[in-house]
């Protein structure tokens, strides 16, 4: 495949995405970032992506920080390990952090780079489907605290984000599943949010996802998937450009399925459910909410729910991993996107999605939705 490059401007930061076949070479990363070896460079990965980091490093003696993998390690202790490794590697504030992995590693490496001496250089190598279509693009960084996902974080876009298709060749099935949910979300939103790039032939659509079906990579990455990833990057990038710090309503649309999803992740115990599984389930709940409010047409809700089921996600409520509805409601009430103490939900409408303030919704009604007690 030919390399494709996209440039985005997030606030004052320029962020370039490179979708390519193979892993980038250290020389390319250094040159792209404008860093020189004497300023210091640190590779960060987890035990899952260590083999990729070592492949990239090749015979060069670049310092490497290997973290435990998984959401449970998305905590201050890991951030401190990254910072300690950076200091040992002699990084100055013009030193370069290179995060190699999925969303957990890129979020944490980005956070560490954003606070290290008040901000160092940052490149990311996104190695999972979820990372490519969502986490790695847009500048959100963070780690979990007090059992709340990304309670601490910053906005700090990487200057360069590499998405090597080769990384997907060894992606475990759970990771595929986690990523597909964000692609489905993009398909629901696509026509909505950036008309400029929204032509039917390139759009991430529910029809295309239906045609693709659960991914088999026995014969390499399907070209249709590569195109969908590329398109998802563009959609996400343009939305974030319009609202880099989520101060308006544009970027908030990307939270479709996430308000319910994050609360489910917390209620299940952080790290027990994949982000994608939680978001997929959350999108079904958003459809139910939209149906009840008269915002989501019945056929639209059915189409979205069917494709989520087709990709083998749990669609029924209550979710089997949800231990306690009261804890779920508490997590929901603590959602960090609250404004003036009010929650906001994103629900699909006929074409795309809209924001709905929780003013319009009784808590008891939400509880019925998550418990599956809603009478249709």
The residues binding a copy of itself (CB under 8 A) are 11-12, 36, 38-40, 76, 80, 83-84, 87, 90, 92-94, 114-119, 140-142, 145-146, 148, 150-155, 245-246, 334, 336-341
**Min dist. Cβ of residue 340 to a copy of itself (A):** 6
CA 309, CA 335: separation in Å to the nearest integer? 26
Secondary structure class of 356 (helix, strand, coil)? strand
**Min dist. Cβ of residue 324 to a copy of itself (A):** 19
Q: Which is nearer to a copy of itself, 94 or 349 (CB)?
A: 94
Torsional sign, CA 154, 158, 161, 167:
negative
As annotated, the active-site residues are 118, 140, 182, 236, 246, 251, 255, 258, 262, 275
Answer left, alpha or beta for residue 4, where phi above 0 means left and psi between -120 and 50 means alpha. Answer: beta
**Min dist. Cβ of residue 334 to a copy of itself (A):** 7
Instruction: Answer for the pair 307, 184: CB distance below 8 angstroms, yes or no.
Output: yes
CA 108, CA 194: separation in Å to the nearest integer? 29
Question: Smallest Cα–Cα separation from 262: which of 183, 320, 336?
Answer: 336
Q: Which is nearer to a copy of itself, 107 or 288 (CB)?
A: 107
Q: Which is nearer to a copy of itself, 199 or 339 (CB)?
A: 339
Residues with Cβ within 8 Å of residue 189, at least 6 apart in sequence: 235, 253, 254, 256, 352, 353
CA 376, CA 371: separation in Å to the nearest integer? 14
CA 251, CA 178: separation in Å to the nearest integer? 21
Q: Which is nearer to a copy of itself, 41 or 225 (CB)?
A: 41
Q: Which is nearer to a copy of itself, 92 or 214 (CB)?
A: 92
Q: How many CB atoms lie within 10 A of CB 132?
A: 30
Q: How many CB atoms lie within 10 A of CB 192?
A: 18
**Min dist. Cβ of residue 26 to a copy of itself (A):** 18
């Amino acid at each position: 495949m030919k390399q494709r490059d996209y440039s985005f401007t997030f606030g004052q930061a320029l962020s370039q995405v490179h979708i390519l076949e193979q892993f980038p070479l250290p020389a390319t990363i250094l040159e792209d970032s404008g860093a020189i070896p004497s300023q210091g460079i640190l590779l960060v990965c987890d035990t899952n992506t260590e083999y990729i980091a070592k492949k990239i490093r090749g015979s060069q003696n670049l310092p490497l920080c290997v973290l435990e993998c998984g959401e449970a390690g998305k905590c201050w202790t890991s951030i401190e390990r990254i910072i300690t490794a950076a200091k040992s590697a002699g990084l100055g504030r013009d030193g370069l952090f290179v995060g190699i992995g999925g969303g957990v590693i890129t979020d944490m490496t980005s956070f560490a780079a954003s606070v290290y001496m008040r901000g160092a250089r940052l490149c990311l190598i996104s190695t999972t489907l979820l990372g490519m279509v969502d986490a790695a693009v847009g500048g959100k960084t963070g780690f979990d605290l007090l059992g709340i996902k990304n309670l601490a974080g910053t906005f700090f876009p990487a200057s360069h984000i590499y998405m090597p298709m080769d990384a997907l060749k060894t992606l475990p099935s759970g990771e595929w599943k986690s990523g597909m949910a964000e692609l489905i979300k993009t398909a629901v939103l696509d026509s909505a949010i950036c008309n400029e790039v929204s032509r039917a032939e390139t759009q991430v659509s529910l029809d295309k996802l239906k045609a693709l079906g659960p991914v088999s990579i026995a014969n390499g990455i399907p070209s249709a998937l590569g195109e969908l990833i590329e398109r998802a990057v563009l959609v996400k990038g343009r939305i974030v450009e319009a609202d880099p710090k989520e101060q308006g309503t544009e970027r908030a649309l990307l939270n479709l399925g996430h308000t319910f999803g994050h609360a489910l992740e917390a209620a299940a115990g952080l790290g027990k459910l994949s982000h994608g599984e939680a978001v997929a389930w959350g999108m079904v709940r958003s459809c139910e909410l939209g149906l009840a409010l008269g915002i989501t047409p019945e056929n639209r809700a059915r189409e979205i729910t069917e494709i989520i089921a087709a990709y083998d996600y749990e669609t029924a409520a209550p979710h089997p991993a949800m231990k306690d509805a009261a804890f779920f409601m508490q997590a929901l009430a603590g959602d960090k996107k609250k404004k003036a103490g009010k929650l906001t939900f994103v629900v699909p409408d006929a074409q795309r999605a809209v924001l709905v303030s929780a003013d319009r919704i009784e808590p008891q009604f939400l509880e019925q939705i998550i418990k599956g007690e809603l009478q249709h």
